[in-house]
Amino acid sequence: MIRIGLVGSASSHAQIFSRLINVDRVFGVRACVSAIWSATDPERTAEVARDGNIPEIAESLHHLADRVDAAIVADRHGDMHAEHALPFLLEGKPVFVDKPLAIDLVDCRRMLNAARQSGAAITSFSSLSVAQDTDAMKAALPGVVRLGQLAGPCDFGSPHGGPFFYATHLIELALSLLGDGVAGLQASRAGDTVVVNAIWDDDAIGSLGFFKDAAYAFHASLFGTGGMTSRAIEVNDDAYAAVLRIAIEMFETGRNPLTSRHLLLPIVMVNAIMESLDNDGGWVDIAATLDREIEALG
């Protein structure tokens, strides 16, 4: 049985992950969340431990790292992810980082380099990328996709890392549906709503709408050479279980499900959105930036 250490308690995902593994026993005896530690809010941490049948609250991050086989880093703020993942990675222990991988690309490189040096596996992705509705849309792609229109919630002023807290959801959905060959993007803002127009290497266009105060929903429409398909993307226990299934398989096998390029791309894109907004909607070359980041990994 894989003993998982859960880092962070503020996010609802901490409760969901621990419930699915320890209470609902979705994965049987393959894994358990055996301990939790959080840098914030001891009362919330105790609540998550109680509701998730987590038997131990660790005294410190390093104490947690010494007592488990793998980690799920689930802090709400992406700026905390590198510092909380590194103790595990440096010991060669696999880590799943809940979205986003990080906010600063330097932090992303620190984690990826630590994982490579120790031989630890690491991955990070949004539950939207593996949701059943996403899989259904991929199975019903209308020929060659020419235009994708996607919308979802995102508060660019969020105290949990601004757009990084939620923008990666919609970005990873777009990458799942349109592919990862993004050439570049430009962004514009009207009040609290941000629209991003991205161009893919195959000349497909993705239009992503991020809203703060509209109804909470994710939606995607794809227009292609063979017609169109459109649906709401629901995130439920099945989606979170799919996330954990991939993470636990990585914990067991030590094999990375995603390449460094895949892990870096969503973070490059959110940074590019901010850069474009700061430059009055200017074009940002995603492909060149991603190539530089990969080269910087050494």
* pLDDT tens per residue, range 72-90: 999 999 999 999 999 999 9
Confidence of residue 277 (pLDDT cuts 50, 70, 90): very high
Residues in the chain, total: 298
Q: Show Cβ contacts of residue 62 under 8 Å, excluding neighbours closer than 6 positions.
A: 87
Structure confidence at residue 141 (pLDDT):
86
Per-residue pLDDT at 251 exceeds 90: yes
pTM of the entire structure?
0.95
Angle at 266 between CA 80 and CA 205, to 5 degrees: 155
Q: Three-state SS for 230?
A: strand
Per-residue pLDDT at 262 exceeds 80: yes
For 126, the token pair is: 């949004």
> Is 100 in contact with 89 (CB distance < 8 Å)?
no
CA distance 218 to 232: 6
Between the alpha carbon of residue 94 and those of residues 73, 146, 162, 197, 256, the distances in Å are 11, 38, 27, 35, 9
Q: Of all residues in the chain, what percent carry a pLDDT higher than 90?
A: 96
> Is 247 in contact with 20 (CB distance < 8 Å)?
no
Which residues does residue 32 pair with via DSSP β-bridges, in sequence order? Answer: 3
Q: Which CATH architecture has domain 2-125+238-253?
A: 3-Layer(aba) Sandwich (3.40)
Closest among 247, 211, 264 to 121, alpha carbons compared: 247
Q: Three-state SS for 54?
A: coil
Per-residue pLDDT at 298 exceeds 80: no
Mean pLDDT across the stretch 47-66? 97
Domain with CATH 3.40.50.720 in the chain: 2-125+238-253
Domain 128-235+267-296: CATH superfamily, name plus number? Dihydrodipicolinate Reductase; domain 2 (3.30.360.10)
Q: What are phi and psi of 279, to 5 degrees?
A: -115, 40
> Is 94 in contact with 254 (CB distance < 8 Å)?
yes
Structure confidence at residue 125 (pLDDT):
97
Domain with CATH 3.30.360.10 in the chain: 128-235+267-296
Q: Show Cβ contacts of residue 178 under 8 Å, excluding neighbours closer than 6 positions.
A: 145, 148, 200, 204, 206
Structure confidence at residue 7 (pLDDT):
98
Structure confidence at residue 252 (pLDDT):
98
Task: Give all strands (DSSP E) within the chain, no chain letters.
Answer: 2-7, 31-37, 70-73, 95-97, 122-123, 145-153, 182-190, 193-200, 205-211, 219-224, 227-232, 284-285
Q: Show Cβ contacts of residue 260 under 8 Å, excluding neighbours closer than 6 positions.
A: 112, 294, 297
Mean pLDDT across the stretch 81-107? 97
Which DSSP string do the residues of 149-215 spell out, in sequence order? Answer: EEEEE--TT-TTTGGGGTHHHHHHHHHHHH-S-EEEEEEEEETTEEEEEEEETTS-EEEEEEESSS-
Q: Of all residues in the chain, what percent carry a pLDDT higher than 70?
A: 100
Q: Show Cβ contacts of residue 25 under 8 Å, excluding neighbours closer than 6 positions.
A: none
